[in-house]
Amino acid sequence: MSKKNYKLEAKDLNAYYGSFHALKNINIAMEEKAVTAFIGPSGCGKSTFLRTLNRMNDYIEGFRVEGDILLDGRDIYAKDVRVDELRKEVGMVFQKPNPFPKTIFENVVYGLKIQGLKDKRVLAETAEKSLRQTALWDEVKDKLDKSALALSGGQQQRLCIARALAISPSVILMDEPTSALDPISTAKIEELIFKLKNDYTIVIVTHNMQQAGRVSDYTAFFYMGELVEFAKTRTMFTSPKHERTQNYITGRFG
Amino acid sequence: MLSESVRFFSEVSIIDFLTDKQWTPLFAEKHFGILPLVAGTLLTTAVAIAVALPIGLTIAVYLNEYSPGRFRQTIKPLLEILASIPTVVYGFFALTVVTPFLQKLIPSLAGFNALSAGIVMGIMIIPMISSLSEDAISAVPRSLREAAYGMGSTRLQTAFGVMVPAASSGIVVSVILAISRAVGETMIVAIAAGQQPRLTLDPTVPIETITTYIVQVSLGDVPHGSLEYRTIFAAGITLFVFTFALNNLSFWIKKKYQEKYD
């Protein structure tokens, strides 16, 4: 196999919550500027794995990781890595829209402000750019100083994506970003993911098989903490190698 | 209390009561201006809050964002012990420990003063602020903390940029409750602040608060039923209005902002 440009790699990754073995010997390599979907039944470890990619699990007591996760070939669990710097590179969108209880504008520029950026013009330009990227600009341009909590769920989620884009990460992790949204908002977000993959590496956890089929280039199937199968989405959905994958994607369990 | 105060105000005009700058009901030349007592009360309270708010809030943030869970569970009850020490002990502490210590730093400090009474009162209300604020911060949804961390915030930025503002209504309520506690505090100021009604904002001289005046008159040999005797009811009503207003304010803030951050 030729040496490809892998953005994210996991090597012999094991993760534990206390004595519970949540991830077992995960080996995976994700391509740059592609969408990788993680699927699998609840409790299979897909979200846990996603959250190890930007060390979001660090704050959970008793959680520990063995093995390596490489971002551009660098181990993100190395001692000299600063978590806050890492998360500027690897942005995250959560299951439930979680805008800050601040104005729409403040939400989008939050990441820049905490980095110490004060230039009003730059802040305004970045805000507009990020909101345009998420197709939210036309909907909110007249109420940037209104509370973000007044937006609809779908708009809030797009705002959260805009907020993540504003600090220009190279990877965006999405943890079931549409599971709390209606079908129309879901369609908008999926459209967005499709557009964003030109510039970003996207990893998305989803419970929705059709969604994985629609938006992703690669799919990884997790079961009981193990990575059962990882392949091009089209390949996996048409001719899965493992029986378990077959059963899951055809809806026989899960 | 109301009927005694009504009788008081039939003899002393309410305008004099609110505007006269002297409070000397026990002297030959009587003045009934509540302002010096109000100023004394506000002064000690302000000093107390200036001590308790930064320390209490820092403790709350530390317990929430930095300390491991088990440590938090032991330190919180320990802190609350601070609130259960008898206030007379605090008063003595202010008079015999804090004042001599402060006099080394500020030579002009009087033996009785608002400063050390206020500082010690602040120590007393720290647990009130830290405990209630800690509850308020831990009630902020976890998703908000994750959002902040996910954006690359450091712990400090998360704590003061996101968690504290999101918990601000609860924190404000804790401060208001602490203020009403400080306004009503009697023993510490009676022991350490002197009992000289004085209209001043200088914390280094002796002052008198509303509460200590009531104690002073109740203990002295003021004839029952006299005008001097009735002054304590007028003072009491003033105090009641203060704490009642503060409690209402905290209730109102809580109600108005409670659900804002879902």
Q: Name, in order, each residue with C-beta under 8 angstroms of B229's C-beta and a sequence gap of 6 or more.
A: B217, B222, B223
Rounded to a whole number of angstroms, the distance from the CA of A84 to the nearest CA of chain B is 4
Q: Is residue B110 included in any domain, yes or no?
A: yes
Q: How far apart are CA B244 and CA B251, in angstroms?
A: 11
Chain A residues with CB inside 8 Å of B259's CB?
A: none
Q: Which residue of A has its CA nearest to B164?
A: A101
Tally A–B CB contacts below 8 A.
Answer: 64
Q: Which residue of A has its CA nearest to B166?
A: A101
Note whether A84 contacts B166, CB cutoff 8 Å: no
Q: Which residue in A61, A85, A96 is closest to B152 by CB distance?
A: A85
Q: Is residue B262 included in any domain, yes or no?
A: no
| Cβ atoms < 10 Å from Cβ of B24 | 14
Q: How far apart are CA B6 and CA B1, in angstroms?
A: 9
pLDDT at A104: 95
pLDDT tens for residues B143-193?
A: 999 999 999 999 999 999 999 989 988 899 899 999 999 999 889 999 999
Chain B residues with CB inside 8 Å of A101's CB?
A: 144, 165-166, 260-261
Backbone angles phi, psi at B66, to 5 degrees: -115, -40
Note whether B152 contacts A84, CB cutoff 8 Å: yes
Domain of A187, in residue numbers: 6-249
* Residue B78 Cα distances to A162, A178, B127, B130, B238, angstroms: 45, 45, 9, 12, 35
Q: Is residue A254 included in any domain, yes or no?
A: no
Residue B125 pLDDT class (50, 70, 90 cuts): very high
Domain holding B132: CATH number? 1.10.3720.10
Note whether A88 contacts B161, CB cutoff 8 Å: no
Q: Is residue B159 included in any domain, yes or no?
A: yes
Backbone angles phi, psi at B209, to 5 degrees: -105, 170
| Cβ atoms < 10 Å from Cβ of A4 | 9
Could you read off the pLDDT tens digit of each residue along chain A, which spans 254 residues?
445 678 999 999 999 999 999 999 999 999 999 999 999 998 899 999 999 999 999 888 889 999 999 999 899 999 899 999 999 999 999 999 999 999 999 999 999 999 999 999 999 999 999 999 999 999 999 999 999 999 999 999 999 999 999 999 999 999 999 998 899 999 999 999 999 999 999 999 998 888 999 999 999 999 999 999 999 999 999 989 998 899 888 877 65
Q: Is residue A17 included in any domain, yes or no?
A: yes
What is the residue type of A88? K
- Sheet containing A218-223: give its strands across: A74-75, A63-71, A6-17, A20-31, A226-232, A218-223, A35-39, A201-205, A171-175, A90-93
Tokens at residue B121, please?
């009162």
Site from B151, B153, B155 to mutate, A interface, most A CB atoms within 10 angstroms:
B151
Note whether B166 contacts A114, CB cutoff 8 Å: no
Q: How far apart are CA A40 and CA A222, in angstroms?
A: 5
Q: How many domains does chain A have?
A: 1
Q: Is residue B247 included in any domain, yes or no?
A: yes
Note whether B151 contacts A167, CB cutoff 8 Å: yes
Q: How many domains does chain B have?
A: 1
**Contact yes or no for A50/A61 (Cβ under 8 A):** no
Chain B residues with CB inside 8 Å of A164's CB?
A: 150-151
Q: Which residue in A56, A59, A114 is closest to B153 by CB distance?
A: A114
Site from A90, A100, A130, A156 to mutate, B interface, most B CB atoms within 10 angstroms:
A100
Q: Is residue A245 included in any domain, yes or no?
A: yes
* Residues belonging to chain A with any Cβ–Cβ distance to chain B shorter than 8 Å: 54, 56, 59, 61, 83-88, 91-92, 94, 96, 98-102, 110-111, 114-115, 149, 160, 163-164, 167
pLDDT at B223: 86
Q: Is residue B66 included in any domain, yes or no?
A: yes
Domain of B125, in residue numbers: 2-257
Q: Is residue A145 included in any domain, yes or no?
A: yes
| Cβ atoms < 10 Å from Cβ of A144 | 18
Chain A residues with CB inside 8 Å of B67's CB?
A: none
Q: How far apart are CA A181 and CA B43, in angstroms?
A: 54
Q: Which residue of A has its CA nearest to B144?
A: A98
Helix (H) or strand (E) holding A24: strand A20-31
Chain B residues with CB inside 8 Å of A100's CB?
A: 144, 147-148, 162, 166
Domain holding A233: CATH number? 3.40.50.300
What is the residue type of A106? E
Give the max Cα distance, chain A: 56
* Residue A42 Cα distances to A29, A36, A56, A248, angstroms: 23, 18, 19, 12
Chain A residues with CB inside 8 Å of B262's CB?
A: 149
Residue B229 pLDDT class (50, 70, 90 cuts): confident
Q: Global pTM?
A: 0.82
> CA angle, corner A86, sides to A173 and A48, nearest 5?
45
Q: How far apart are CA B159 and CA B66, in angstroms?
A: 10
Q: Is residue A1 included in any domain, yes or no?
A: no
> What average pLDDT does chain B have?
89
